[in-house]
Each structure stands twice: as structure tokens, then as C-alpha cells.
Structure 1
């Protein structure tokens, strides 16, 4: 996945996990709360991976531009 798709998937998982937790709390379903927390955590990791990919790509592009300017 690219950085943008990782970020989007991460945000979607965070939102879905948050909703699951809320529904689980509302209906008293502890299993749903735990699943929601796990999905939210997965989303945070996915988003972080996307952020790292974007930062890495940006740094590589800046380095390549600097090398090209010096040629």
C-alpha cells in the first residue's frame, strides 16, 4: 500500500473501532468493546506506517533534488 492508502485505511479502522467501542459500551457487550479497541489500535498503527512512508518518500525526493542541483 502507498502512504495515502495506509493513512486512509488507518483512519477508517480508527473510526470503526471507536464506533464498535461505543456500541459495545451502550449495549454492555465487553467483547465488542475489546474488538473495537483492537481495531482502533490497528488503525493507529496503519496511519503511523503511512506517515512514515510519506516522510521517507519526501526525504528521498529532497535528497534526489539536492543531488540533481549539484550536477
Structure 2
């Protein structure tokens, strides 16, 4: 994964966190759930990046 992808995924996680908090504060369950979903998607992408990075380290790719 490139640096741009890593930045994009981290940004998605941060935006998701903000949506979750805003939804909680405003009692908007839909927005809160959307934020949680975005965070989960970003974390899944980041986990995939870690696996790819580890594979590169092991196999020299």
C-alpha cells in the first residue's frame, strides 16, 4: 500500500470517529452507526495494509 492509501484510511477512521461522537451528542443513532461503520471499514483496510507490509518484509517485495 502506498502512503496515500494509508493517509486516506486514517482520515476515514478519524471522520468516522467524529461522526460517531456527533451522533452520540445529538442523539442521532443513524449518524452514530454510520461513524462506527466507517471506523470499522478503515480499521479493516489498515489491518490489510499491515499484512501486506509484513509480507513485503518477509519476502522482500
Q: TM-score range by the shorter chain?
A: 0.7 to 0.9
Q: Are the structure 2 counterparts of residues 48 and 3 from structure 1 closer, same or farther at C-alpha, using a change threshold of 3 Å?
A: farther
**Aligned residues: CA RMSD:** 1.7
Rounded Cα–Cα distance in structure 1 between residues aligned with 2:56 and 2:4:
14
- 4+ long deviations beyond 4 Å: none
Q: Which has the higher helix share?
A: 1
**TM-score, structure 2 length as denominator?**
0.85
Equivalent residues, number: 61
The one-character-per-residue Cα deviations of 1:1-33 (angstroms, maximum 9, x if unpaired) are x25444323211211110000110111110000
Structure 1: 5+ residue stretches without partners: 65-71
Q: Which has the larger radius of gyration?
A: 1
Rounded Cα–Cα distance in structure 2 between residues aligned with 1:11 and 1:60:
26
**TM-score, structure 1 length as denominator?**
0.74
Structure 2: 5+ residue stretches without partners: none
In structure 1, the partner of 2:59 is 60
